[in-house]
Structure 1
Amino acid sequence: MDLGLRSRYAGRGAGAEPGGAHAGLLLLRARNHPAGGHDDADRAGVVGRGGRGRQPRSRQPSGGIVMSIALSESGFDSITVDVVRHKLDGIAGEMQQTLLRSSFSPIVKEGLDASASLFTVDGETLAQACAIPVHLGTMIPVVERILKVFPLATMSPEDAYVMNEPYLGGTHLPDIAVVKPIFANGRPVAIAAAMTHHQDVGGMAPGSVPTNAIEIYQEGLRIPPLQLLSTGRMNETLVALIRQNVRIPDTVMGDLNAQIAACNVGARRIGELVERLGQNLVPKLFAILLQRSEERTREALRLIPDGTYRYVDYNDNDGIELDKQIRIEVAVTIKDGDFHCDFTGSSEQVRGPFNCVPSGSLAAACFAIRAVTDPDIPTNAGCFRPISLHLPEGSIVNPVEPAPVNARTATIKRIAGTILGALRPVLPDRIPADSCGEMLAVMFGGKRADGRLFVTGELIAGGSGAGPRSDGVDVIETDVTNCMNLSAEAMEMEAPIRIHQMSLRKDSGGAGRQRGGLGLVKEYEILEGEVRFTHRGERHFCAAMGAYGGEPGAMAVSTIHRTTGAVEIIPSKLVTTLHAGDRVTIETAGGGGNGPVAARDPAAARTDIRNGKISADVSTV
């Protein structure tokens, strides 16, 4: 599959049909899916570089909303444009706070695993909250799919739509998106969207991230694009279906209602903006914002020497074949402001759930292009127009249905890491050594002594790679993830679990002139009954590599200490049963070091020893 973001906007002049067969970004093709209406040949390369949907190139930046006036003749001064830009960012931020503060599940209200965004009526990213990059990127094809199934002309102000289907543009089943059209004076002016990682969506394991799944049908409830609200009324048939298929229905519906509330906030604030600026001026301002971001992004890319740059990294295994590593290979081509990523050479799709559908690969590329360009550029669809992707069909980055995908985050993180790794030689002052590259997921589910079901879990970070001028950051989410670990109190309130330890992992950062960030040590004890436990880890067998002479970070280690005295080493991925008194100890990976070890400032090494970050016997002092 070739994916070209710029091709989405090409040919959008007179006679162009928004949402047409080849106008849409990332029209994810799912074989034999009733909502698809396409054949397999289309799936392999609709909008790729040189593909069938590619229009003749133009050096003029294109816009999703066609303007008949040039930017210099628009009549908008720079201050007005910037004020509107920050207003949109503020609206997205208010949506995000509503989403987090209204949610029921600890993975959202404590772990912050949810995101809000605004789109134009054509499905182009308009503004994003500071949230989860993998969500923000994958909401692009989600909104496009909703608009394809439910054309804008059929929508009304109080409607809302929902989906989580990975093979139609979603990411994995726990990530459910809610999409709401925004109307002003009876006309659509924008779209609000919110995506939440739900604590459980059914399937074979509590938490719905089973590392031993071998097909998507085992992973949970699949929701194609459906109408959730019709003129303000909830689709009770759909609600009943959802409640019947999840383990904690009140929590799931609470989080869905929080998503609706967030979208309502966005709709109200955009309505106020239209009332202030005028119905006709707002879409022109939106178009200017996107055009400016595209121009500035291309300018930044032209500062990178043209060329093709390569990198390879690995995931430990697929949870099924534990001795078989997963290869992620990328060739990044920078050419006159274009940003093309070719994943030829990556592993074929795997039996286990670490396959990444194209929306996830897109999200990784969207993150990477923002990481290597000016951070002051407003993040919107204009930033992503230079991107095109080649994703070989049947590979780890473009699997064929019904391949399982629930653990795709590990692969998306590695995709993002390889793109940055490829560009490190030409951006040595910008790109750090490899990070831990894991968002270790632990999920616990079972029954309390009183018979009540519980499902809880958290996402645990490791260390970031060392930068050219500073040490890596300890225990921090990097690249496409941006979650928080749960506090001990939050987890202990949700389940019969006690947290015995949470501390930095000494000596886990890769040595170098700049030291890699440290991983985390965390210990859980099961207090009662039987608990189903899922462990999804990375960097247990493939360390985060150092840069320019820096050493790799320490690999992750996780163990189960049974009440029988037996100690079991977790092989990166595991689904098992724990019993009262069993303990699980997690030690996450460290980031790679940067620069020669001998060049480390002795004072910095002594400070690390004094702070307990490294042992005296591993110091160069």
Structure 2
Amino acid sequence: MMLNTIEARSDSMAIDPITLEVIRNRLDVVAAEMEGTLIRSAFSVVLKEGADCSCALFTVSGDTMAQSVALPQHLGVLAATVKSLLRAFPPETMEEGDVYIMNDPYDGGTHLPDITALTPVFSSGRCVAMAASMAHHSDLGGMAIGSLPPDATELFQEGIVLPPVKLIARGVFDEQIRGILLKNVRMPAFLEADLGAQFASIKIGAARFAEICEEFGEDTVLAYIDELMDRSEALTRARIAEIPDGSYTFIDYIDNDGIVLDKRVKIQATLTIRGSDIHVDFAGTDPQVAGAANAAFSHAACVTYYCVRCITDPRLPNNAGCFRPISVSLPEGTLVNPRHPAPVNARTMTVCRMTDVIFGCLAQAAPDRVRASSSGMQGVSFSGRRATDGRAYVYLELFCGGMGARPTKDGVDYIETDITNMMNAPTEAVELEYPLRIHSMRLKTDSGGAGLHRGGLGMCKIFEVVEGPLEVTHRGDRHFSRPWGLKGGKPAMPWSSVIKRTDGSEHKVPARERFTLRTGDILVSDTAGGGGYGDPLSRPAARVANDVAEGQISLSAAQTDYGVVLDAALHIDVTATDALRAQLATERGAITWTFDRGEDGRD
């Protein structure tokens, strides 16, 4: 998308649209190359296969210029950590070859395994930009291998906390800081290697940005970046202004906090649109919890940025200009803005629900731009020590499910959605590196919510422990509160996890729990689908028949949810279908609700 025509900036520099597009795309390519470098250089499966990382370029004041597309969850959080680093180490104090790191959730970070690395970019001896990356590390110490204990009750149990520190000065490591880091983790070789991958990514980012400055001149490049941000802001405001002014409130829940397993926790937001501005207020959200489900303050801005980006033009450059129309209020001491030292490692499921809450607000204002609720995600860490040499290992399985149906399309089956966008680790890679056997991985029939557009399917994945014992930290959600349907669409199936022991006993796993698996034990995980969109009785019967043929819905669901009667050969009985649909529509009545939450009712 060309960003308009030649215009004169206030500083009298004429903006050439061709040069603007070239610089814009060069920045995107640099961010993508940074991400590719990190992933290809990493040692741990969560990075080299799962891509749990992000890379970006920033101005010297910490505004995002361009960001890789790996992980929307880092969209606002990486910027928050960069600004924290710049407060501690102003650009004028930096030198070429310096590298700074941090992971403190109470200073802009996410949770402790996510480390931000930053290096300054120099051109003609002048600091002109910053290159940064954020990556999930396999272990940062704490009470559980992998540093993700769902039953933690304070931050200190989760691992080592890094304030902004200079790890490398002019290309030379600070060996004291390096030694402290490596002595406090269970897998020092992996930490060192994966940090090296981060450093390689920001080094290549700095080099490539310097090349752009050399080609066009740093003053020209920086002026064009300012212009890109201004135009992103203008185009974002134009799309927001199309939505009716008003205040829209929505409530959703997480299943529990990891400590009190039978008590749901409320997230509430009120989204207000005034002209081209959006403000989100999380007043009404429950107080912070004892367990690790709290989300550090930086996540709320990240989630809001993401949701607004979803309803504006996807072709806009991913830069700070998109976020200027957005503001967020967070009551202190709540689930979404806890007080130190509340634990935060299981915050991803909370952030997924925050996404649903903001989409729930937007669905009331602009339903033609918003999809139904998606499955969210579930993180399960398998960890232990190898029998041969006692070395620690950890594998983080990032389960996903179905995407919520969209206003014009079905949801996508089994996919990371919304703020998470990690990749599925191949079965071969998992079985090669860890004492696990994956028996099966298949889409789960009927797991997507029924609708004019069907919710995406979740899946069933079965693990067997080949060599135990393994410690498992299970961090999930949507076991009780189902992904909701929208505008007549039905909710999706919830998540479910079951342990099958070798003695024949079974244990249903709650959303958040830490437990042990022994040799021969099996873990069965059924992931949630996405909610449906629109009246399922309006879905063309031929599409329903095709869904049955593809195994996406069952014969019984075709009849009870969609009112479609099929014979054994899956041919449509048109007369019976018309009669059944008329009967079901009469029994149900007119659709007067926006959201269908299943057992939690309609509103």
* TM score, norm. by length of structure 1: 0.88
Is 1:308–2:256 an aligned residue pair?
A: no
Q: Residue 387 of structure 2 corresponds to which residue in structure 1?
A: 449
Given candidates 484, 506, 509, the residue that maps to 2:423 is 484
Is 1:269–2:269 an aligned residue pair?
A: no
The 8 Å contact of residues 460 and 484 in structure 1, kept in 2 or not, is answered as: no
Matched ranges for 1:166-177 at <5 A: 166-177=105-116
Shift of 1:580: 0.4
The letter of the residue matching 2:181 is: I
Q: Residue 379 of structure 1 corresponds to which residue in structure 2?
A: 318
Is 1:233–2:175 an aligned residue pair?
A: no
Given candidates 158, 161, 169, the residue that maps to 1:219 is 158
Give deviations 1:264-313, integer Å, cap 9, x for gaps: 11111111111111132222112111111111111111111111111111
CA distance in 2, matches of 1:439, 1:240: 35
Which deviates further from its counterpart, 413-422 or 447-456?
Answer: 447-456
Shift of 1:453: 2.1
Matched ranges for 1:73-84 at <5 A: 73-84=12-23
Shift of 1:73: 3.7
The 8 Å contact of residues 75 and 306 in structure 2, kept in 1 or not, is answered as: no
Q: Residue 378 of structure 2 corresponds to which residue in structure 1?
A: 440
The letter of the residue matching 2:421 is: N
Matched ranges for 1:174-323 at <5 A: 174-323=113-262
The 8 Å contact of residues 117 and 136 in structure 1, kept in 2 or not, is answered as: no
The letter of the residue matching 1:556 is: W
Give deviations 1:34-91, integer Å, cap 9, x for gaps: xxxxxxxxxxxxxxxxxxxxxxxxxxxxxxxxxxx73594212111111111110111
Identity over aligned pairs, percent: 47
CA distance in 2, matches of 1:512, 1:292: 38
Given candidates 21, 36, 50, the residue that maps to 1:97 is 36
Given candidates 300, 305, 327, the residue that maps to 1:388 is 327
Shift of 1:314: 0.9
CA distance in 2, matches of 1:308, 1:249: 50
Shift of 1:217: 0.6
The letter of the residue matching 2:221 is: V
Which deviates further from its counterpart, 537-546 or 291-300?
Answer: 291-300
Is 1:472–2:375 an aligned residue pair?
A: no
SS at match of 1:256: helix
Shift of 1:425: 2.5
The 8 Å contact of residues 9 and 15 in structure 2, kept in 1 or not, is answered as: no
The letter of the residue matching 2:553 is: I
SS at match of 1:339: strand
Given candidates 525, 543, 547, the residue that maps to 1:586 is 525
SS at match of 1:410: helix
SS at match of 2:513: strand
The 8 Å contact of residues 462 and 475 in structure 1, kept in 2 or not, is answered as: yes
Q: Residue 460 of structure 1 corresponds to which residue in structure 2?
A: 399
**Equivalences, count:** 552
Shift of 1:456: 1.1
CA RMSD of aligned residues (A): 1.1
The 8 Å contact of residues 162 and 225 in structure 1, kept in 2 or not, is answered as: yes
Shift of 1:613: 1.3
CA distance in 2, matches of 1:242, 1:566: 42
The letter of the residue matching 2:481 is: C
The letter of the residue matching 2:451 is: G
Matched ranges for 1:574-613 at <5 A: 574-613=513-552
The letter of the residue matching 2:193 is: G
The 8 Å contact of residues 434 and 592 in structure 1, kept in 2 or not, is answered as: yes
SS at match of 2:76: helix
Shift of 1:199: 1.3
Matched ranges for 1:102-181 at <5 A: 102-181=41-120
Name stretches of at least 5 consecutive residues in structure 2 with no aligned partner.
Answer: 1-7, 565-603
The letter of the residue matching 2:382 is: F
Shift of 1:379: 1.3
Q: Residue 414 of structure 1 corresponds to which residue in structure 2?
A: 353
SS at match of 2:292: coil
Q: Residue 70 of structure 1 corresponds to which residue in structure 2?
A: 9
The 8 Å contact of residues 440 and 536 in structure 1, kept in 2 or not, is answered as: yes
The 8 Å contact of residues 200 and 252 in structure 1, kept in 2 or not, is answered as: yes
Which deviates further from its counterpart, 370-379 or 100-109?
Answer: 370-379
The 8 Å contact of residues 417 and 479 in structure 1, kept in 2 or not, is answered as: no
CA distance in 2, matches of 1:441, 1:84: 38
Name stretches of at least 5 consecutive residues in structure 1 with no aligned partner.
Answer: 1-68
SS at match of 1:569: strand
Shift of 1:601: 1.4
CA distance in 1, matches of 2:358, 2:216: 41
Give deviations 1:451-487, integer Å, cap 9, x for gaps: 3321112211010111122111111111111001211
Q: Residue 496 of structure 2 corresponds to which residue in structure 1?
A: 557
Give deviations 1:229-252, integer Å, cap 9, x for gaps: 100011221221111111111111
CA distance in 2, matches of 1:456, 1:374: 37
The letter of the residue matching 1:441 is: G
Show structure 1 runs of 4+ deviating over 3 A: none
* TM score, norm. by length of structure 2: 0.90
The 8 Å contact of residues 382 and 472 in structure 2, kept in 1 or not, is answered as: yes
CA distance in 2, matches of 1:330, 1:149: 32
Give deviations 1:162-211, integer Å, cap 9, x for gaps: 00000011110010010111001110111000000111111111211111
Q: Residue 266 of structure 2 corresponds to which residue in structure 1?
A: 327
The 8 Å contact of residues 443 and 534 in structure 1, kept in 2 or not, is answered as: yes
CA distance in 2, matches of 1:553, 1:505: 11
Give deviations 1:480-518, integer Å, cap 9, x for gaps: 110012111111122111111111011100111111111
SS at match of 1:265: helix
Give deviations 1:106-135, integer Å, cap 9, x for gaps: 001101111100001110000011110111
CA distance in 2, matches of 1:71, 1:293: 17
Which deviates further from its counterpart, 225-234 or 413-422?
Answer: 413-422
Given candidates 491, 507, 511, the residue that maps to 2:446 is 507
CA distance in 2, matches of 1:143, 1:356: 19
The 8 Å contact of residues 441 and 460 in structure 2, kept in 1 or not, is answered as: yes
Q: Residue 594 of structure 2 corresponds to which residue in structure 1?
A: none
Give deviations 1:202-228, integer Å, cap 9, x for gaps: 111121111101111111111110011
Q: Residue 359 of structure 1 corresponds to which residue in structure 2?
A: 298
The letter of the residue matching 1:595 is: G
